[in-house]
Amino acid sequence: MRTLMIASALALGAALASQAFAADTIKLRDVAELSGGGATVGTNFKNGADLAVEEINAKGGILGHKIDLTHADTQSVPGIARAQVQKALDEKPYVLLGPGYSGSVKVVASLAAKAEIPEIIGGEAAELTQMGNPYLFRTSFGQQSTMPKVARYIHDDLKAKTVAVIWVNNDFGKGGRDTILKEFAKLGVKVVADQSTEAGQADFAADVAKMKEAKPDAAFIYLNEEESARILKEIKKQGLKLPLIGETTLVGQKVIDLAGDAAEGAMGHVGLTTDAPVPAIQKFRDAFKAKYNYVPDHNGIKGYLAIYVIKAVTEKMGKIDSKLFAKTLHGMTIKAADEPGILMDVTYDEHGDIDRQGFLVEVKNGKQVVKQILPKLGK
């Protein structure tokens, strides 16, 4: 009997301790592409978020509460992403992180909105923040912000009169393709090749041959990271020489690592790069590399920033309130001087879109070299 009483007391104590721990933590849930075609995206985001959580918890957490962050794998499949998000929301998190793929965000965003849980995403498709969802927030520029800058650079700086557009046939690729075609039309740049490719595609020989036949002055390449590396290798193999311009997914560190010297000379507009001449970003890069033994791409910064956005908003509110979080972040400016973990000053608009400095980069000697620092769109 005495043994039974002791065992019951211990069990009760453990249960109470567990409840106390849960009550004393800020519950965050991340649903990311940890396997499948988007593994590079999701793993970098996860690692960046984990690094930020480790730093913040080591300093006492947020408002005295430690962060409890767990991750779930979408396997890069929208249907699985929806199921994982529903599971995460059943746990009633303070904020939901992810997914990174725009197609997955489209099928899960309504779930988080219905639950009135803020969702901080990696997806960049223009339409995501145009759906009127007050709980959706980006960690990087949307296509409606980046494509005008890319098109203008191709027209003004490269003096290109004709262009080939190579895009991946998913929500991310379609959104980028549709947006930049509109910008080219405004500028009078003729699209001589408009080629779709498939996510996970391995062979780009026919695509490059078709592009070569069209004889464009420049090529705009908008694929996922792994496919970007493959097409760069094929372009080099076929000896096609012309300016290659894209966005973050063409010139990210993972692409450079996979493509090797085939990435040399590729250019792109990036909202985030670990090669930016910003001391706070360099400090993050060093900490990430020390922990994970590799240099992160922009997705690593996205995950890191997402956690520090949560910290800054919560500390401004002075309490933990998911609905108030969403209202507070709209129109909010977070300054790096006040929250160094945010890395650069950032402003959120009424749609959940982000505004901050951006960078025009070129790959040289296996790394991104910043050619221009582009200012915030707003004042």
The pLDDT value given to residue 253: 83
pLDDT tens-digit series, residues 187-246: 999 999 999 999 999 999 999 999 999 999 999 999 999 999 999 999 999 999 999 999
Q: At residue 149, does pLDDT exceed 50?
A: yes
User: 242 or 11: whose pLDDT is higher?
Assistant: 242
| Arithmetic mean of pLDDT over the chain | 91
The pLDDT value given to residue 378: 65
The pLDDT value given to residue 19: 37
Look at residues 225, 177, 219, 193 and name the one whose alpha carbon lies nearest to residue 45.
225
Name the percent of the chain lying above pLDDT 90.
77
pLDDT tens-digit series, residues 292-308: 999 998 899 999 999 99
Q: How far apart are CA 132 and CA 62, in angstroms?
A: 29
> Which of 91-95, 243-247, 267-271, 327-331 is least confident?
267-271
pLDDT tens-digit series, residues 42-86: 999 999 999 999 999 999 999 999 999 999 999 999 999 999 999
Name the percent of the chain lying above pLDDT 70.
93
Res. 127 pLDDT band, cuts 50 70 90: confident
Cross-strand pairs, 334: 346
Look at residues 52, 31, 27, 29 and name the one whose alpha carbon lies nearest to residue 300.
52
Res. 23 pLDDT band, cuts 50 70 90: low
Q: Are 263 and 363 in contact (CB under 8 A)?
A: yes
Q: At residue 14, does pLDDT exceed 70?
A: no
End-to-end CA distance of the chain: 73
Q: At residue 328, does pLDDT exceed 80?
A: yes
Residue 225 CA neighbour count, 13 Å, CB half:
23
User: 145 or 267: whose pLDDT is higher?
Assistant: 267
What mean pLDDT comes out for the span 14-41? Answer: 76
The pLDDT value given to residue 18: 37
Q: At residue 131, does pLDDT exceed 80?
A: yes
Question: Phi/psi zone of residue 134: left (φ > 0), alpha (ψ -120 to 50 degrees), beta?
Answer: alpha
Answer positive or negative: Cα dihedral of 207, 233, 77, 86: negative
What mean pLDDT comes out for the span 1-10? Answer: 50
What mean pLDDT comes out for the span 29-46? Answer: 95
Q: Is 200 helix (H, G, I), strand (E, B) or coil?
A: coil
Helix 205-214 crosses helix 225-237 at what angle (to 10 degrees)? 60
What mean pLDDT comes out for the span 318-332? Answer: 98
User: 298 or 93: whose pLDDT is higher?
Assistant: 93
The pLDDT value given to residue 15: 42
How far from 301 is each of 105, 123, 144, CA to CA, in Å?
A: 19, 14, 21
Q: How far apart are CA 263 and CA 275, in angstroms?
A: 16
Ordered structural domains, the chain, with CATH? 24-141+280-348 (3.40.50.2300), 144-270+358-374 (3.40.50.2300)
Q: At residue 3, does pLDDT exceed 70?
A: no
Residue 218 CA neighbour count, 13 Å, CB half:
25
Q: What is the CA radius of gyration of the chain?
A: 22
Burial status of residue 6 (CB atoms within 10 A of its CB: 0-12, 13-18, 19 or more)? exposed
The pLDDT value given to residue 20: 37
